[in-house]
Amino acid sequence: MIKAICVLALVAIQGSCFLSTIQSLSGVHQSHEQFQSWSNDFGKVYKSTLDYLYRLYVFHNNRLKIEAHNSNSANTFTLALNHFGDLTSEEFMARYTSKNLVPNPSLVATNKQEDEGRSAENERIKNLKLDNEVNWVERGMVNPVQDQGLCGSCYAFSSTAAIESAYAIANQGKLLKFSEQYVVNCGDQKGYKLYGCMGGVLTETGRFAKNVGVFTNDDYPYKEEKENCDSNAKPFTQIKDFNSITSEKMADLLAEVMQGPIALSIEVTPVYQFYQFGVMNVKAPCGFFINHGVTVVGYNLNADIPYLLIRNSYSESWGEKGYFRHSIGDLKTSGTCGFANSLSMRPIF
Protein backbone atom coordinates (compact mmCIF):
# COMPACT_ATOMS: atom_id res chain seq x y z
CA MET A 1 0.00 0.00 0.00
CA ILE A 2 2.87 2.39 0.83
CA LYS A 3 4.41 1.68 -2.56
CA ALA A 4 1.12 2.48 -4.29
CA ILE A 5 0.83 5.80 -2.42
CA CYS A 6 4.40 6.72 -3.44
CA VAL A 7 3.59 5.99 -7.09
CA LEU A 8 0.51 8.17 -6.88
CA ALA A 9 2.55 10.97 -5.32
CA LEU A 10 5.06 10.88 -8.19
CA VAL A 11 2.35 11.77 -10.72
CA ALA A 12 0.55 14.30 -8.53
CA ILE A 13 2.20 17.24 -10.27
CA GLN A 14 0.94 16.05 -13.68
CA GLY A 15 -2.58 15.19 -12.61
CA SER A 16 -3.43 16.40 -9.12
CA CYS A 17 -7.19 16.72 -9.79
CA PHE A 18 -7.39 13.25 -11.29
CA LEU A 19 -5.25 11.86 -8.48
CA SER A 20 -7.53 13.31 -5.79
CA THR A 21 -10.49 11.66 -7.54
CA ILE A 22 -8.75 8.29 -7.47
CA GLN A 23 -7.83 8.62 -3.79
CA SER A 24 -11.34 9.61 -2.74
CA LEU A 25 -13.03 6.57 -4.28
CA SER A 26 -14.37 4.16 -1.69
CA GLY A 27 -13.08 0.62 -2.18
CA VAL A 28 -10.30 1.73 -4.53
CA HIS A 29 -7.74 -0.44 -2.71
CA GLN A 30 -9.80 -3.55 -3.41
CA SER A 31 -10.22 -2.47 -7.03
CA HIS A 32 -6.49 -1.87 -7.34
CA GLU A 33 -5.68 -5.39 -6.18
CA GLN A 34 -8.19 -6.84 -8.62
CA PHE A 35 -6.94 -4.56 -11.39
CA GLN A 36 -3.35 -5.75 -10.95
CA SER A 37 -4.44 -9.38 -11.14
CA TRP A 38 -6.81 -8.69 -14.07
CA SER A 39 -4.20 -6.77 -16.09
CA ASN A 40 -1.72 -9.62 -15.63
CA ASP A 41 -4.28 -12.23 -16.69
CA PHE A 42 -5.14 -10.36 -19.90
CA GLY A 43 -1.64 -9.10 -20.68
CA LYS A 44 -2.55 -5.43 -20.37
CA VAL A 45 0.34 -2.96 -20.64
CA TYR A 46 -0.16 0.79 -20.18
CA LYS A 47 2.00 3.45 -21.77
CA SER A 48 2.28 5.70 -18.71
CA THR A 49 1.44 5.89 -15.04
CA LEU A 50 -1.33 8.37 -15.77
CA ASP A 51 -2.81 5.98 -18.31
CA TYR A 52 -2.59 3.19 -15.73
CA LEU A 53 -4.38 5.33 -13.14
CA TYR A 54 -7.12 6.32 -15.55
CA ARG A 55 -7.75 2.69 -16.50
CA LEU A 56 -7.82 1.80 -12.80
CA TYR A 57 -10.45 4.51 -12.33
CA VAL A 58 -12.54 3.07 -15.20
CA PHE A 59 -12.07 -0.47 -13.87
CA HIS A 60 -13.21 0.63 -10.40
CA ASN A 61 -16.39 2.24 -11.76
CA ASN A 62 -17.12 -0.85 -13.84
CA ARG A 63 -16.70 -3.07 -10.78
CA LEU A 64 -19.20 -0.98 -8.82
CA LYS A 65 -21.76 -1.07 -11.66
CA ILE A 66 -21.39 -4.84 -11.96
CA GLU A 67 -21.85 -5.34 -8.21
CA ALA A 68 -24.97 -3.16 -8.26
CA HIS A 69 -26.46 -5.16 -11.13
CA ASN A 70 -25.68 -8.54 -9.56
CA SER A 71 -27.15 -7.52 -6.20
CA ASN A 72 -30.57 -6.99 -7.83
CA SER A 73 -32.40 -10.31 -7.56
CA ALA A 74 -34.84 -9.24 -10.28
CA ASN A 75 -32.11 -9.52 -12.94
CA THR A 76 -32.11 -12.81 -14.85
CA PHE A 77 -28.45 -12.66 -15.85
CA THR A 78 -25.17 -11.80 -14.15
CA LEU A 79 -22.31 -9.53 -15.15
CA ALA A 80 -18.58 -9.98 -14.54
CA LEU A 81 -15.34 -8.20 -15.32
CA ASN A 82 -13.85 -9.61 -18.51
CA HIS A 83 -11.28 -8.44 -21.07
CA PHE A 84 -13.34 -5.25 -21.55
CA GLY A 85 -12.83 -4.32 -17.89
CA ASP A 86 -10.78 -1.15 -18.49
CA LEU A 87 -13.11 0.32 -21.13
CA THR A 88 -15.87 2.83 -20.53
CA SER A 89 -19.25 1.91 -21.99
CA GLU A 90 -18.73 4.61 -24.63
CA GLU A 91 -15.40 3.09 -25.66
CA PHE A 92 -16.90 -0.40 -25.80
CA MET A 93 -19.77 0.74 -28.00
CA ALA A 94 -17.44 2.67 -30.31
CA ARG A 95 -15.00 -0.22 -30.74
CA TYR A 96 -17.20 -3.30 -30.76
CA THR A 97 -20.39 -2.31 -32.56
CA SER A 98 -20.94 -1.43 -36.20
CA LYS A 99 -20.35 2.08 -37.51
CA ASN A 100 -23.10 1.59 -40.11
CA LEU A 101 -26.41 1.57 -38.21
CA VAL A 102 -29.45 0.17 -39.97
CA PRO A 103 -32.99 0.97 -38.78
CA ASN A 104 -35.03 -2.01 -37.61
CA PRO A 105 -37.05 -3.27 -39.39
CA SER A 106 -34.39 -3.07 -42.08
CA LEU A 107 -34.92 -0.56 -44.86
CA VAL A 108 -32.22 -2.17 -47.00
CA ALA A 109 -33.28 -2.55 -50.62
CA THR A 110 -33.43 -6.17 -51.79
CA ASN A 111 -33.50 -7.92 -55.12
CA LYS A 112 -37.24 -8.52 -55.64
CA GLN A 113 -36.73 -11.29 -58.19
CA GLU A 114 -34.51 -13.25 -55.82
CA ASP A 115 -36.82 -12.70 -52.86
CA GLU A 116 -39.92 -13.77 -54.80
CA GLY A 117 -38.13 -16.99 -55.66
CA ARG A 118 -37.80 -17.73 -51.96
CA SER A 119 -41.48 -17.27 -51.12
CA ALA A 120 -42.26 -21.00 -51.36
CA GLU A 121 -39.41 -21.88 -49.00
CA ASN A 122 -40.46 -19.16 -46.56
CA GLU A 123 -44.03 -20.47 -46.51
CA ARG A 124 -42.79 -24.03 -45.97
CA ILE A 125 -40.73 -22.89 -42.98
CA LYS A 126 -43.63 -20.97 -41.45
CA ASN A 127 -45.85 -24.07 -41.50
CA LEU A 128 -43.40 -26.29 -39.61
CA LYS A 129 -44.25 -27.58 -36.14
CA LEU A 130 -41.63 -26.26 -33.73
CA ASP A 131 -39.37 -28.59 -31.78
CA ASN A 132 -39.15 -27.64 -28.11
CA GLU A 133 -35.36 -27.46 -28.20
CA VAL A 134 -32.66 -27.11 -30.87
CA ASN A 135 -28.91 -26.96 -30.24
CA TRP A 136 -26.60 -27.07 -33.25
CA VAL A 137 -23.51 -26.78 -31.02
CA GLU A 138 -24.31 -30.07 -29.29
CA ARG A 139 -24.85 -31.64 -32.72
CA GLY A 140 -21.26 -30.71 -33.66
CA MET A 141 -22.30 -28.30 -36.41
CA VAL A 142 -20.73 -25.10 -35.05
CA ASN A 143 -17.07 -24.08 -34.99
CA PRO A 144 -15.38 -22.65 -31.87
CA VAL A 145 -16.03 -19.02 -30.97
CA GLN A 146 -13.59 -16.47 -32.38
CA ASP A 147 -12.59 -12.89 -31.59
CA GLN A 148 -13.27 -10.14 -34.13
CA GLY A 149 -10.95 -7.79 -32.24
CA LEU A 150 -11.02 -4.09 -33.05
CA CYS A 151 -12.23 -4.62 -36.62
CA GLY A 152 -15.97 -4.07 -37.04
CA SER A 153 -16.33 -7.35 -38.91
CA CYS A 154 -19.17 -8.89 -36.89
CA TYR A 155 -21.22 -9.26 -40.08
CA ALA A 156 -18.50 -11.47 -41.58
CA PHE A 157 -18.22 -13.61 -38.43
CA SER A 158 -21.95 -14.08 -37.95
CA SER A 159 -22.52 -14.97 -41.61
CA THR A 160 -19.44 -17.17 -41.98
CA ALA A 161 -20.42 -19.17 -38.89
CA ALA A 162 -23.89 -19.74 -40.37
CA ILE A 163 -22.36 -20.76 -43.72
CA GLU A 164 -19.96 -23.20 -42.02
CA SER A 165 -22.87 -24.83 -40.20
CA ALA A 166 -25.04 -24.98 -43.33
CA TYR A 167 -22.19 -26.68 -45.19
CA ALA A 168 -21.72 -29.21 -42.37
CA ILE A 169 -25.46 -29.98 -42.20
CA ALA A 170 -25.54 -30.55 -45.98
CA ASN A 171 -22.35 -32.69 -45.95
CA GLN A 172 -22.87 -35.29 -43.22
CA GLY A 173 -21.31 -33.21 -40.47
CA LYS A 174 -18.16 -32.14 -42.34
CA LEU A 175 -17.40 -28.94 -40.43
CA LEU A 176 -14.85 -26.74 -42.20
CA LYS A 177 -13.42 -23.32 -41.34
CA PHE A 178 -14.22 -20.64 -43.91
CA SER A 179 -12.72 -17.18 -44.23
CA GLU A 180 -14.09 -13.99 -42.71
CA GLN A 181 -11.05 -12.13 -44.01
CA TYR A 182 -11.94 -12.50 -47.68
CA VAL A 183 -15.36 -10.96 -47.01
CA VAL A 184 -13.70 -8.08 -45.15
CA ASN A 185 -11.14 -7.55 -47.92
CA CYS A 186 -13.38 -7.84 -50.94
CA GLY A 187 -16.97 -7.05 -49.97
CA ASP A 188 -16.92 -3.44 -51.10
CA GLN A 189 -14.61 -4.15 -54.04
CA LYS A 190 -17.12 -6.62 -55.45
CA GLY A 191 -19.96 -4.10 -55.23
CA TYR A 192 -21.70 -5.30 -52.05
CA LYS A 193 -22.78 -3.29 -49.00
CA LEU A 194 -19.92 -4.70 -46.95
CA TYR A 195 -17.53 -2.11 -45.57
CA GLY A 196 -14.43 -3.87 -44.32
CA CYS A 197 -13.92 -3.04 -40.65
CA MET A 198 -16.82 -0.57 -40.67
CA GLY A 199 -19.71 -3.04 -40.69
CA GLY A 200 -21.95 -4.60 -43.30
CA VAL A 201 -25.44 -5.87 -44.16
CA LEU A 202 -26.14 -9.57 -43.49
CA THR A 203 -28.21 -10.20 -46.62
CA GLU A 204 -25.32 -8.77 -48.62
CA THR A 205 -23.02 -11.43 -47.14
CA GLY A 206 -25.53 -13.99 -48.39
CA ARG A 207 -25.41 -12.55 -51.91
CA PHE A 208 -21.62 -12.40 -51.70
CA ALA A 209 -21.39 -16.09 -50.73
CA LYS A 210 -23.82 -17.01 -53.52
CA ASN A 211 -22.38 -14.93 -56.35
CA VAL A 212 -18.68 -14.53 -55.44
CA GLY A 213 -18.18 -17.62 -53.30
CA VAL A 214 -16.87 -18.93 -49.99
CA PHE A 215 -13.12 -19.08 -49.30
CA THR A 216 -11.12 -21.19 -46.85
CA ASN A 217 -9.58 -19.79 -43.69
CA ASP A 218 -6.26 -21.45 -44.58
CA ASP A 219 -6.05 -19.31 -47.71
CA TYR A 220 -7.26 -16.10 -46.04
CA PRO A 221 -6.78 -16.22 -42.24
CA TYR A 222 -8.24 -13.43 -40.14
CA LYS A 223 -5.97 -10.39 -39.67
CA GLU A 224 -8.22 -7.96 -37.71
CA GLU A 225 -7.84 -5.34 -40.44
CA LYS A 226 -8.87 -4.79 -44.04
CA GLU A 227 -6.28 -5.80 -46.61
CA ASN A 228 -6.11 -5.56 -50.40
CA CYS A 229 -8.64 -7.70 -52.23
CA ASP A 230 -7.31 -10.68 -54.20
CA SER A 231 -9.78 -10.37 -57.06
CA ASN A 232 -8.36 -13.44 -58.86
CA ALA A 233 -8.92 -15.83 -55.98
CA LYS A 234 -10.90 -19.00 -56.66
CA PRO A 235 -13.60 -19.87 -54.10
CA PHE A 236 -13.75 -23.22 -52.33
CA THR A 237 -17.51 -23.38 -52.82
CA GLN A 238 -20.62 -21.23 -53.20
CA ILE A 239 -23.91 -21.37 -51.37
CA LYS A 240 -26.94 -22.35 -53.44
CA ASP A 241 -29.10 -19.59 -51.96
CA PHE A 242 -30.06 -17.93 -48.68
CA ASN A 243 -33.24 -17.07 -46.89
CA SER A 244 -33.61 -13.37 -46.13
CA ILE A 245 -35.65 -13.31 -42.93
CA THR A 246 -37.77 -10.53 -41.48
CA SER A 247 -40.92 -11.73 -39.77
CA GLU A 248 -43.60 -10.42 -37.46
CA LYS A 249 -43.55 -13.65 -35.42
CA MET A 250 -40.79 -15.16 -33.32
CA ALA A 251 -42.20 -18.61 -34.15
CA ASP A 252 -41.12 -18.10 -37.77
CA LEU A 253 -37.58 -17.22 -36.70
CA LEU A 254 -37.37 -20.39 -34.58
CA ALA A 255 -38.59 -22.44 -37.53
CA GLU A 256 -35.62 -21.10 -39.50
CA VAL A 257 -33.24 -22.07 -36.68
CA MET A 258 -34.64 -25.60 -36.86
CA GLN A 259 -33.16 -25.79 -40.37
CA GLY A 260 -29.76 -24.48 -39.28
CA PRO A 261 -27.96 -21.57 -37.59
CA ILE A 262 -28.87 -18.10 -38.84
CA ALA A 263 -26.95 -14.81 -38.97
CA LEU A 264 -28.99 -12.25 -37.01
CA SER A 265 -28.77 -8.47 -36.68
CA ILE A 266 -29.26 -7.14 -33.15
CA GLU A 267 -28.81 -3.93 -31.19
CA VAL A 268 -25.99 -4.25 -28.68
CA THR A 269 -26.37 -1.91 -25.71
CA PRO A 270 -23.80 -1.18 -22.95
CA VAL A 271 -25.13 -4.02 -20.76
CA TYR A 272 -23.59 -6.50 -23.22
CA GLN A 273 -20.09 -5.37 -22.26
CA PHE A 274 -19.92 -7.47 -19.11
CA TYR A 275 -22.50 -10.20 -19.72
CA GLN A 276 -21.40 -13.38 -17.95
CA PHE A 277 -24.21 -15.89 -17.47
CA GLY A 278 -27.98 -16.32 -17.61
CA VAL A 279 -30.82 -15.25 -19.86
CA MET A 280 -30.77 -11.65 -20.99
CA ASN A 281 -34.21 -10.14 -20.67
CA VAL A 282 -33.56 -6.49 -21.35
CA LYS A 283 -36.42 -4.28 -20.22
CA ALA A 284 -34.89 -1.07 -21.51
CA PRO A 285 -35.63 -0.05 -25.12
CA CYS A 286 -33.65 -2.25 -27.50
CA GLY A 287 -33.71 -3.30 -31.11
CA PHE A 288 -34.36 0.12 -32.64
CA PHE A 289 -30.98 0.41 -34.37
CA ILE A 290 -29.19 -2.81 -35.24
CA ASN A 291 -25.43 -2.44 -34.78
CA HIS A 292 -24.04 -5.97 -34.43
CA GLY A 293 -24.18 -9.34 -36.18
CA VAL A 294 -24.41 -12.63 -34.24
CA THR A 295 -25.30 -16.24 -35.03
CA VAL A 296 -28.36 -17.95 -33.55
CA VAL A 297 -27.34 -21.60 -33.04
CA GLY A 298 -30.31 -22.90 -31.08
CA TYR A 299 -33.21 -22.23 -28.75
CA ASN A 300 -34.98 -23.78 -25.77
CA LEU A 301 -38.72 -23.45 -25.20
CA ASN A 302 -38.65 -25.71 -22.13
CA ALA A 303 -36.45 -23.45 -20.03
CA ASP A 304 -37.89 -21.40 -17.16
CA ILE A 305 -37.25 -18.41 -19.42
CA PRO A 306 -37.41 -19.62 -23.04
CA TYR A 307 -34.29 -18.42 -24.80
CA LEU A 308 -32.29 -18.16 -28.00
CA LEU A 309 -28.75 -19.58 -27.86
CA ILE A 310 -26.49 -17.09 -29.63
CA ARG A 311 -22.85 -17.28 -30.71
CA ASN A 312 -20.95 -13.99 -30.44
CA SER A 313 -17.53 -12.91 -31.78
CA TYR A 314 -16.06 -11.33 -28.63
CA SER A 315 -13.86 -14.38 -27.83
CA GLU A 316 -14.42 -17.21 -25.36
CA SER A 317 -13.46 -14.85 -22.51
CA TRP A 318 -16.82 -13.15 -22.92
CA GLY A 319 -20.16 -14.51 -21.70
CA GLU A 320 -20.82 -18.25 -21.55
CA LYS A 321 -17.58 -19.20 -23.31
CA GLY A 322 -18.41 -16.80 -26.12
CA TYR A 323 -22.16 -17.47 -26.20
CA PHE A 324 -25.13 -15.76 -24.63
CA ARG A 325 -28.76 -16.61 -24.04
CA HIS A 326 -31.50 -14.11 -24.75
CA SER A 327 -35.18 -14.36 -23.88
CA ILE A 328 -37.50 -15.21 -26.77
CA GLY A 329 -40.64 -13.46 -25.62
CA ASP A 330 -44.06 -14.03 -27.17
CA LEU A 331 -43.90 -16.45 -30.11
CA LYS A 332 -46.81 -14.67 -31.79
CA THR A 333 -45.00 -11.31 -31.84
CA SER A 334 -41.53 -10.21 -32.97
CA GLY A 335 -40.31 -11.17 -29.50
CA THR A 336 -37.95 -9.55 -27.03
CA CYS A 337 -36.14 -6.64 -28.67
CA GLY A 338 -37.96 -7.41 -31.93
CA PHE A 339 -35.41 -10.04 -32.97
CA ALA A 340 -37.83 -11.71 -35.42
CA ASN A 341 -38.25 -8.40 -37.19
CA SER A 342 -34.49 -7.77 -37.42
CA LEU A 343 -32.62 -8.49 -40.61
CA SER A 344 -31.33 -12.07 -40.61
CA MET A 345 -30.01 -14.60 -43.08
CA ARG A 346 -29.88 -18.42 -43.33
CA PRO A 347 -27.50 -19.88 -45.96
CA ILE A 348 -28.65 -22.83 -48.06
CA PHE A 349 -26.41 -25.44 -49.73
Catalytic residues: 154, 292, 312
Task: Name, in order, each residue with C-beta under 8 angstroms of 348's C-beta and a sequence gap of 6 or more.
Answer: 121, 166, 239, 240, 241, 242, 243
Distance between CA atoms of residues 63 and 57, nearest Å? 10
Specify the DSSP class assigned to residue 124: H
Q: Dmax of the chain from CA atoms?
A: 73
Q: Using CB atoms within 10 A of its CB, is residue 345 exposed (0-12), middle (13-18) or buried (19+)?
A: buried
How far is CA 244 from each of CA 134, 145, 264, 346, rounded to the nearest angstrom? 21, 24, 10, 7
CA distance 327 to 104: 18
71-97 core/surface letters (b: 16 or more CB in 10 A; e: else): eeeeeebebebbbbbbbbbeebbeebb
Q: Residue 138 CA to chain centroid, in angstroms?
A: 20
